[in-house]
Amino acid sequence: MFGPSLMQLDLSRNQISDFSLLSYSLSTCQNLKLLNFLDNKLKGKLELSSLSCKNLMVLDLSCNLFSGPIPSSLMPNSLVSLELLDLSHNNFSGKFSTLHFAQCSNLTKLSLSHNSFSDSGFSLSLRNCRLLQALDLSHIGLRGKIPGDLLGNLRNLKFLSLANNEFIGEIPPELGQACGTLEELDLSSNKLIGGLPLSFTSCSSLQVLNLGNNLLSGYFLSAVVSSLPNFRYLFVPFNNVSGYVPLSLTNCTRLQVLDLGSNAFEGSIPPGFCYSTSSLERILLANNYLSGSVPVEVRNCKNLKSLDLSFNILNGPIPTNIWNLPYLSNLVMWANNITSEIPEGICVNGGNLETLILNNNLIGGRIPESISKCTNMIWVSLSGNKLTGEIPSGFGNLPKLAILQLGNNSLTGKIPPELGKCQSLIWLDLNSNGISGALPPDLANQVGAGGLVEFEGIRPERLESFPMVHSCSSTRIYSGMTMYTFVNNGSMIYLDVSYNNLSGSIPENFGTMSYLQVLNMGHNKLTGNIPESFGGLKAIGVLDLSHNNLQGYLPGSLGTLSFLSDLDVSNNNLTGLIPIAGQLTTFPASRYENNSRLCGVPLPSCASGAHSTNLHTRNKKAPVAVGMVVSITFFLFCILGLAIALYRVNKNQLKVEQREKYIESLPTSGSSIWKLSSVPEPLSINIATFEKPLRKLTFAHLLKATNGFSAESLIGSGRFGEVYKAHLRDSCVVAIKKLIHITGQGDREFMAEMETIGKIKHRNVVPLLGYCKIGDERLLVYEYMKWGSLESVLHDTAKGRGSRLDWEARKKIAIGSARGLAFLHHSCIPHIIHRDMKSSNVLLDENFGARVSEFGMARLVNALDTHLSVSTLTGTPGYVPPEYYQSFCVQQKPMNRQ
């Protein structure tokens, strides 16, 4: 297959799953020097006999799906010429301490990161790798204390990463004594205490130090770090470091990034940080207790790109010449006591500014007109200040603007119709101002995609006491970047113009904003009818039209809004019967009160009072007209009925044909793939994780990841679809639920799960990572649970899996399940009621932790009305609360039982 003279074989990123190709390559590698199988689909245990690759220098098997222990034949003992060994991003297991590196004299790079080793010991033979320059042992499950003799004889080491493990205790001083050549050290995301030992002052070559997400404290920044002149990147966020920010850090003249956020620093910001020759590009001091004013010397940091001073106690004005910084792209100072006005001249020297977040300060004056020159602006948040004047129409010239938050100010004038030109706007908050005039129909014109980043780098507990910040009590307040992809007009998802002086009617085209989730127009002077087109707000969850002068009937189309969890039309001039449709009758009477001619559940019956008198008068005046209308209506219904009958016959025939074609196209073996020639361009979907940025996938990617949804990838099935195991290109394993699409229930199930679970993050709930819609296909992407369902583990005695569950494990699963349910039922607004709890709906992760799953019967429960009527008993055989069976009403907690 390969000639004996072959010296390099690079088969990276080819979706190779045939292990025999790798086995053959390693068995005929007498002269091979480079072998690269990076980013393929190779899986299973590596069972290789002794190899004869005496000349092999580079072996890269990273980003595959290998499992089991690392075979000794792949270690440098057998591959004596090996210089680079990369086995990262697999699922290798076993004990790290048993790996042998006795003969690794030529090894310069070793990466074993993102695997699953299980012990706390280090392989002592690593110290034999005297030429080693890069060692990556991050995210492999190591525990205990960092051994002091870790570096041993590694006098040439330049890169060392022990991040994302479970190390405890202090950083050993011996590590600093042996770091003469070390340039980059990453100890982040462990449980280390204390500080950085004084011995690290001898690390004269150190350029990058990451100590973030630990429990460090003390004064090591001034005592140790300040004496390292070659420092370029310093990351110490999310620790317990206190005291003043040391001015001595300016001794690090090459420093480019300084991240001290989320600690307990106090005092003022040292003005000496910024001097004429400063190299600083990012200064991140958010979420501390800093006071005083922002030093005017910040204008001297000519290379500054990001300045984040949010969530401190800073006062005084924003430095006047801050806009002269030529590279400034992010200015974040929210939640301080900043005063004065926004300095004039924003973006006059170029449109590099992308983020301007100054909300919740004491800033007054007008919004500078020159903000229209910030053509790269993505997020503007000026809410909760004392701004006056009109909203600049120049906002409409910002094609990338995704979020505009101007609420809780004293702005006046009209809403600029030019905002409809913002191609990416998804979030518009103008509440609690003095804005007047009519609602511009142009606001429904957005057709682009926006991005949302919120509260990144802020400790959740600090936000709990902050006004106007709402979160689920058991989750983090942020999860990094969230992207939205839109395919229809009206990309806005949040629109709040409440508590203003708006007048006129509601534009009819607002009903076309199909992605809108929150629409608040309450407390204005709006008149006219509620548009019938509001039935097109299919994603709406909160709709507030209260305290206006609206009149006419409540549109029956509102009853089709299946995700509506909060409706308020109180204090208007509405009339007629509240439609008995959807959830409209489940909201409390307070949501309809003070509409003198509105009646029906939950208000008093329409049979009494002014409403019935009015109906009698109208009927008495126009008996002939009514008769004519009835006759014409009957005739039209006859014609319409005939047309519908013919349409349904043709449609049913088409569905049968599509159903037959779909069944015939299903793959029957692992080698089968779907033909996509007749399928439109696959829609992109978003995969969100806790620690990683979003990854854009397509429907075609999911097909490849499951081998065309083949039978070999099938791992489960339920009443709403089948579940497949999928191996993505980056070695991640996910579970994909392919919902049935024979009836309309699949769409409803898809939307219910997507809208509710997609935003839920809890350690005892199976997270929904993403979704995909294309044609009739509805796919949900979940985090993969290694041990499957609790039911299968309990009852799969043939494989001996049930024996893994001793009483301690069962107790852990029971507590985890209870915590997951408690979170869903109580900790989030709106509440999510499971209603189908059983052992098959509890999945077990790799550590046998319980994760509640299957929210097919989940429903949004209104925060003010915890009852949701249903027509039939919901769920599958299993436990049914007696009060639910008796009343068919959802409640957050059981009735008191005697």
27 contacts 6 by C-beta, under 8 angstroms: no
247 in any annotated domain: no
The pLDDT assigned to 776 comes to 59
CA distances from 433 to 381, 399, 402, 500, 718 (A): 15, 25, 21, 5, 51
Span 315-340, average pLDDT: 92
113 contacts 139 by C-beta, under 8 angstroms: yes
Report the largest interatomic distance among the alpha carbons of the chain, rounded to a whole angstrom.
Answer: 105
750 in any annotated domain: yes
- pLDDT at residue 674 above 50? no
The pLDDT assigned to 641 comes to 56
What is the spatial distance between Cα 759 and Cα 472, in angstroms, rounded to a whole number? 10
83 contacts 60 by C-beta, under 8 angstroms: no
- pLDDT at residue 798 above 70? no
> Both 744 and 831 in a single domain?
no
856 contacts 836 by C-beta, under 8 angstroms: yes
> Both 779 and 741 in a single domain?
yes
Catalytic, out of 39, 442, 496, 836:
836
Ranking 324-338, 562-576, 645-659, 667-681 by mean pLDDT, the lowest is 667-681
Question: Higher confidence at residue 4 or residue 743?
Answer: 4
Instruction: Verify whether residue 429 is a known catalytic residue.
Output: no
What is the spatial distance between Cα 484 and Cα 462, in angstroms, rounded to a whole number? 28
Question: Higher confidence at residue 633 or residue 729?
Answer: 729
106 in any annotated domain: yes
Q: 3-state SS of the chain: helix, strand, coil percent to 5?
A: 25, 20, 55
Span 402-412, average pLDDT: 94
Residues of 170-200 as b/e, b for ≥16 C-beta within 10 angstroms? ebbebbbebbebbbbbbbbbbebbebbbebb
> Both 2 and 135 in a single domain?
yes
Span 678-690, average pLDDT: 34
132 — pLDDT class (breaks 50, 70, 90): very high
**Residue 723, SS3 per DSSP:** strand
Highest mean pLDDT among 429-438, 470-479, 646-655, 790-799: 429-438
> Both 775 and 810 in a single domain?
no
| Residue 738 marked in a binding site | yes
CATH number reported for the structural domain that contains residue 6 in this entry? 3.80.10.10
* pLDDT tens, residue by residue, 416-471: 999 988 888 889 999 999 999 999 999 888 654 443 434 444 444 444 443 333 33
The pLDDT assigned to 657 comes to 44
The pLDDT assigned to 754 comes to 60
The half-sphere exposure of 692 on its side-chain side, counting CA atoms within 13 A, is: 10
887 — pLDDT class (breaks 50, 70, 90): very low
> Both 771 and 863 in a single domain?
no
> Both 59 and 119 in a single domain?
yes
- pLDDT at residue 267 above 90? yes
* DSSP conformation class of 529: B
Of 94, 118, 141, the residue at which a domain comes to its end is 141
Of 110, 141, 172, the residue at which a domain comes to its end is 141
Ranking 21-25, 513-517, 587-591 by mean pLDDT, the lowest is 21-25
What is the spatial distance between Cα 425 and Cα 423, in angstroms, rounded to a whole number? 6
Number of domains composing the chain: 3
The pLDDT assigned to 755 comes to 53
> Both 692 and 817 in a single domain?
no
- pLDDT at residue 349 above 50? yes
Question: Higher confidence at residue 103 or residue 133?
Answer: 133
Span 883-894, average pLDDT: 40
861 — pLDDT class (breaks 50, 70, 90): very low
What is the spatial distance between Cα 513 and Cα 258, in angstroms, rounded to a whole number? 43
- pLDDT at residue 299 above 70? yes
Highest mean pLDDT among 192-201, 455-464, 613-622: 192-201
Place of tokens 């994760």: 851
605 — pLDDT class (breaks 50, 70, 90): confident
Q: Which residues contact 235 (CB under 8 A, 6 or more apart)?
A: 188, 209, 210, 211, 212, 257, 259
- pLDDT at residue 609 above 80? no
- pLDDT at residue 50 above 50? yes
722 contacts 737 by C-beta, under 8 angstroms: yes
The pLDDT assigned to 759 comes to 60
Ranking 65-79, 163-177, 336-350, 623-637 by mean pLDDT, the lowest is 623-637
Highest mean pLDDT among 104-113, 124-133, 523-532, 554-563: 523-532
Question: Higher confidence at residue 819 or residue 802?
Answer: 819
The pLDDT assigned to 720 comes to 63
> Both 838 and 887 in a single domain?
yes
What is the spatial distance between Cα 713 and Cα 725, in angstroms, rounded to a whole number? 5
> Both 76 and 129 in a single domain?
yes
885 in any annotated domain: yes
Token output for 549: 């002068």
Place of tokens 């299946």: 562
Of 141, 168, 193, the residue at which a domain comes to its end is 141
Question: Higher confidence at residue 853 or residue 438?
Answer: 438
> Both 94 and 43 in a single domain?
yes
CA-based radius of gyration for the chain: 32
Percent of the residues in the chain that have a pLDDT greater than 70, as a whole number: 71
104 in any annotated domain: yes
What is the spatial distance between Cα 492 and Cα 519, in angstroms, rounded to a whole number? 10
Q: Which residues contact 386 (CB under 8 A, 6 or more apart)?
A: 362, 363, 364, 409, 410
- pLDDT at residue 750 above 60? no
The pLDDT assigned to 388 comes to 97
Token output for 365: 């004056």
217 contacts 240 by C-beta, under 8 angstroms: yes
Highest mean pLDDT among 412-416, 648-652, 697-701, 873-877: 412-416
pLDDT mean across residues, the chain: 76
- pLDDT at residue 739 above 80? no
The pLDDT assigned to 483 comes to 34
CATH number reported for the structural domain that contains residue 747 in this entry? 3.30.200.20
The pLDDT assigned to 4 comes to 67
- pLDDT at residue 9 above 70? yes
The pLDDT assigned to 447 comes to 54
Residues of 342-369 as b/e, b for ≥16 C-beta within 10 angstroms? bbeebbeeebbbbbbbbbbbebeeebbe
The pLDDT assigned to 451 comes to 39
> Both 846 and 812 in a single domain?
yes
602: cis peptide before it, omega within 30°?
yes
> Both 773 and 808 in a single domain?
no
Residues of 867-898 as b/e, b for ≥16 C-beta within 10 angstroms? ebeeeeebbeeeeeeebbeeeeebbeeeeeee
875 in any annotated domain: yes
Token output for 638: 């006859």
639 in any annotated domain: no
Token output for 436: 């007047």
The pLDDT assigned to 216 comes to 95
Residue 437's DSSP bridge partners are: 502
Percent of the residues in the chain that have a pLDDT greater than 90, as a whole number: 36
694 in any annotated domain: yes
Containing 686, the helix (H) or strand (E) segment is strand 684-687
Ranking 224-228, 571-575, 730-734 by mean pLDDT, the lowest is 730-734
What is the spatial distance between Cα 178 and Cα 205, in angstroms, rounded to a whole number? 12
- pLDDT at residue 654 above 70? no
187 contacts 162 by C-beta, under 8 angstroms: yes
Token output for 660: 């037959």
Structural domain that includes position 87: 1-141
Phi, psi of 496 (to 5 degrees): -130, 110
Give CA angle at 355 (353, 360), nearest 5°: 130
